[in-house]
Chains A and B, each alone.
Chain A
Amino acid sequence: MKVIKIDKKEWAGGLERLSDSFLLCGPVKKDKFHNFKELEKGELPDMNLLNTRLSPKSIVYPQSEIMFKYTLDENQKDHNILKEIDKDYSPRGVIGIRPCDAKAFLLVKANFDAPEYKDPYWIKSYKATTFVGYACNIPCNTCFCTTAGCGPFHEQGLDLLLVDAGDYYLSKIITEKGKNLLTAAGWSEKMDAAAAGDQIASMKQAAEAKITARVATNKLKDKKTTELFEASFWEEVAFACINCGTCTYVCPTCWCFDIQDEAYGSSGIRMRNWDSCMYPLFTFHGSGHNPRETKMQRVRQRFMHKLKYYVDRYENGIQCVGCGRCIRHCPVNIDIRKVCDLMNDYEPALDEE
């Protein structure tokens, strides 16, 4: 393990150098909350944050993404043919991504970069990105990452892990990509590996100890899908839900999209936009039939997908990293931790209704 020390006095200069060869994104505060945005030349990421309101998934997977363009003008030779549009996949660096959000990319990778299907847009932009993680010394009350296959110092999905140690960052090199980014920034102050390792380990322990929110997921795999599906608790779980889709839009692990054509005059584009299983339109058939007609069915789908279907299909744990965003921003306080426990503990024989 190699750890480089970045004195905070060297921070701005390093980022400046980095911006010559990387497109940089980082958390920036506007009004009351932080979100990731592309950093202008000289603009610094605001590292004084808990986490961003929206997840950084949009950096790789934008809310609206144009895929093709076409012309309907029959005087053009290539009319009515979809043509891929040029995109910029030059190297980019995400500075200050929290470990949960970086791990989330690995969970959605199972969908976008699967043996049977490859999503070229997602794959190319994921590959172009270097993830500079930012360990959480002070996790939020709603974070339950440690029981969701992740943690405040988790390294999976990261190329570098920054640990805030007061006047400096300890920067742990995780991949070759991470090393290259450090070189490009000119950060190179070596540290004694053993001492740095100890320092990180004790900070990690302290951070993990602060996380009291947890979920139990150990029995999900062995539950019968049909029994969970029929459980009586869904009515109560779903009652308050207004199907606003906020939970899925803020979530780093929700991946669903909808494809739309938009034409203006004789030219048009085909794009994809985030979609949400919480919307009635999501499953609305051309025939007029909707297999998920009621709110309860849609709420059930969200939780069954994250906590049961994904678990069974990918054998990779739950489709959730415990970032807590859906809990913090659901307008009616529907809490995935409660639902996960209901599912994990469900015994059909004890179901009262």
Chain B
Amino acid sequence: MLTYIEKIKEISSRLLQEGKVDVVIGFRKGTVPMMNEPCFVKRPEDVDNFVWDSNCGINLANYLANRKEKIGIVVKGCDSRNIVTHIIENKIKQDQLFIIGVPCKAMIDRRKIEAMFETEIQEVIEAEDRIIVKGHGLEKTINKIDVLQENCAICVQRNPVIYDELVGEPVEEKKDVDRYEDVRKIESMPPQEKWKYFDDLILPCIRCYACRNACPLCYCPTCFVDESRPQWVGKSQDPTDTRTFHFLRAYHCAGRCTDCGACERACPMDIKVRQFTKKLEKDCLDLFGWEAGMTLEKRPPLDTYRPDDPDDFIK
């Protein structure tokens, strides 16, 4: 994965030099361990700012909606699925984009790694499938596979579904992944237990909406929680309002969520917000055989009518 960066720089510099794009969106090195910052580059001489490693979990499709210029963008499998969704939903035009595809080798979960150590982590070095963690008087090597972002661990689309150029050979997609073990567990709970599960899940929520804002799908000019005429949702920490936010956010992502994990990664309170969206994702797969963002050829099930709809009430 660490060899990708040279190719990313080369392509970016070429695109800018040839005037094929006005800007390239990628990542630059962060100021704290295990964090990179989304950034843009407009001049070929600045492409050296770009980095690529296992800390690029933010979904860059989030930076595309409604942009007008010609854009080069560095894209993982999940990001590409959100770009497909953006194109279908008219948030960006495909011919505005030059997609620099990255066959993704999974991102790491910084909070998981932080929680493994008593002391603060000073430095993290990557060596393909191993991660070397250094702290105050501490040095430990861990296997990357043990500290993946949870959505990456069950990802079935690591290669970008659309791209203009790839930065490396496609990676092998994982087959036979059980994506919904956790969802089935919740489905089998009696209603009271289910209710409690979700109440406990969102108990620490501070209603900052980082989960919403990190998500490329949440581009509404005014989100329902921000509407004031009428005001649909209260603004305090009343549990009913917090639940309303979470339930509705998830429903607005139904059939669109790519399980990129950006929401969960952004939450400052470590809330597993994908527990909501994954259920809807599973339903979409079970009911309509639909996986979001895999193709430009088909309309999503929630904005189309099909005579063979599995529900009777609609017929």
Encode contact with B along A30-74: 1 for CB under 8 Å, 0 otherwise. 111100000000000000001001100000000110000000000
Q: Does B235 contact A (CB under 8 A)?
A: yes
CB distance from B42 to the nearest CB of A (A): 10
Whether A333 pairs with B268 at a CB distance below 8 angstroms is no
Which residues on the A side are within 8 Å of B62 (C-beta)?
A: 242
Q: Does A23 contact B (CB under 8 A)?
A: no
With A240-B37, A244-B214 as known contacts, state yes or no: A64 contacts B236, CB within 8 Å: yes
Which residues on the A side are within 8 Å of B214 (C-beta)?
A: 242, 244, 331
Whether B213 pairs with A335 at a CB distance below 8 angstroms is no
Whether A333 pairs with B36 at a CB distance below 8 angstroms is yes
With A281-B226, A331-B58, A332-B37 as known contacts, state yes or no: A260 contacts B234, CB within 8 Å: yes
With A33-B270, A242-B210 as known contacts, state yes or no: A338 contacts B235, CB within 8 Å: no
Which residues on the B side are within 8 Å of A333 (C-beta)?
A: 30-32, 35-37
Encode contact with A along B18-44: 1 for CB under 8 Å, 0 otherwise. 000000000000111101111110000
Which residues on the B side are within 8 Å of A53 (C-beta)?
A: 268-269
Of the candidates A33, A246, A332, A338, the one having the most CB atoms from chain B within 10 angstroms of its own CB is A332
Which residues on the A side are within 8 Å of B270 (C-beta)?
A: 31-33
CB distance from A264 to the nearest CB of B (A): 10
Whether B236 pairs with A327 at a CB distance below 8 angstroms is no
| Chain A contact surface mostly | loop
Which residues on the A side are within 8 Å of B111 (C-beta)?
A: 32
List A311-339 residues whose CB lies under 8 Å from chain B.
327-329, 331-335, 337-338
CB distance from B7 to the nearest CB of A (A): 23
Closest to A235 in B: B40
Encode contact with A along B205-232: 1 for CB under 8 Å, 0 otherwise. 0101110011000000000001010000
Encode contact with B along A75-98: 1 for CB under 8 Å, 0 otherwise. 000000000000000000000000
Whether A240 pairs with B234 at a CB distance below 8 angstroms is no
Q: Does B249 contact A (CB under 8 A)?
A: no
Q: Does B266 contact A (CB under 8 A)?
A: yes
Whether A331 pairs with B234 at a CB distance below 8 angstroms is no
With A54-B206, A240-B39, A333-B37 as known contacts, state yes or no: A280 contacts B226, CB within 8 Å: yes
Q: Which of A64, A140, A245, A335 is the one whose CB lies under 8 Å from B208?
A: A245
Q: Which of B31, B37, B120, B209 is the one whose CB lies under 8 Å from A245?
A: B209
Which residues on the B side are within 8 Å of A273 (C-beta)?
A: 235-237
Encode contact with A along B104-148: 1 for CB under 8 Å, 0 otherwise. 000000010011000110100000000000001000000000000
Which residues on the A side are within 8 Å of B32 (C-beta)?
A: 141-142, 327-328, 333, 335
Which residues on the B side are within 8 Å of A191 (C-beta)?
A: none
With A32-B111, A337-B31 as known contacts, state yes or no: A246 contacts B268, CB within 8 Å: yes
Q: Does A185 contact B (CB under 8 A)?
A: no
Closest to B212 in A: A244
A328–B32 Cα gap in the complex (Å)? 8
Which residues on the A side are within 8 Å of B268 (C-beta)?
A: 53, 246, 249-250, 329, 331
Q: Does A138 contact B (CB under 8 A)?
A: yes
Q: Does A283 contact B (CB under 8 A)?
A: no
CB distance from B265 to the nearest CB of A (A): 7
Q: Which of B36, B115, B209 is the one whose CB lies under 8 Å from A244?
A: B209
Closest to A280 in B: B226
A31–B200 Cα gap in the complex (Å)? 12
Whether A64 pairs with B38 at a CB distance below 8 angstroms is no
CB distance from A249 to the nearest CB of B (A): 5
CB distance from A254 to the nearest CB of B (A): 12
With A242-B266, A246-B208, A260-B235 as known contacts, state yes or no: A141 contacts B120, CB within 8 Å: yes
Whether B39 pairs with A239 at a CB distance below 8 angstroms is yes
Whether B265 pairs with A331 at a CB distance below 8 angstroms is yes
Q: Does A174 contact B (CB under 8 A)?
A: no
Whether B236 pairs with A141 at a CB distance below 8 angstroms is no
Whether B37 pairs with A249 at a CB distance below 8 angstroms is no
Q: Does A258 contact B (CB under 8 A)?
A: yes
Encode contact with A along B147-180: 1 for CB under 8 Å, 0 otherwise. 0000000000000000000000000000000000
Which residues on the B side are within 8 Å of A64 (C-beta)?
A: 235-238
A117–B231 Cα gap in the complex (Å)? 30
Whether B236 pairs with A271 at a CB distance below 8 angstroms is yes
Of the candidates B120, B204, B210, the one having the most CB atoms from chain A within 10 angstroms of its own CB is B210
Whether A244 pairs with B210 at a CB distance below 8 angstroms is yes
List A256-292 residues whose CB lies under 8 Å from chain B.
258, 260, 262, 271, 273, 276, 279-281
CB distance from B211 to the nearest CB of A (A): 8
Could you tell me which B residues sit within 8 Å of A by CB distance? 30-33, 35-40, 58, 62-63, 111, 114-115, 119-120, 122, 136, 204, 206, 208-210, 213-214, 226, 228, 234-238, 265-266, 268-270
Could you tell me which A residues sit within 8 Å of B by CB distance? 30-33, 50, 53-54, 63-64, 138, 140-142, 236, 239-240, 242-246, 249-250, 258, 260, 262, 271, 273, 276, 279-281, 327-329, 331-335, 337-338
A sample of 15 cross-chain residue pairs with beta-carbon separation below 8 angstroms, ordered by A number, consists of A63-B206, A63-B236, A239-B38, A240-B58, A244-B266, A246-B266, A246-B268, A258-B235, A271-B236, A281-B226, A327-B32, A331-B265, A331-B268, A333-B36, A334-B37
**Contacts A276-B208, A333-B37, A334-B37 given; 18 further ones with Cβ under 8 A?**
A53-B268, A141-B33, A236-B39, A239-B39, A240-B58, A244-B209, A258-B235, A260-B235, A271-B236, A273-B235, A273-B236, A281-B228, A327-B31, A327-B32, A332-B38, A333-B30, A337-B31, A338-B31
Q: What 5 A-B pairs are tightest by C-beta distance, nearest first?
A: A244-B210, A331-B266, A64-B236, A240-B38, A242-B213
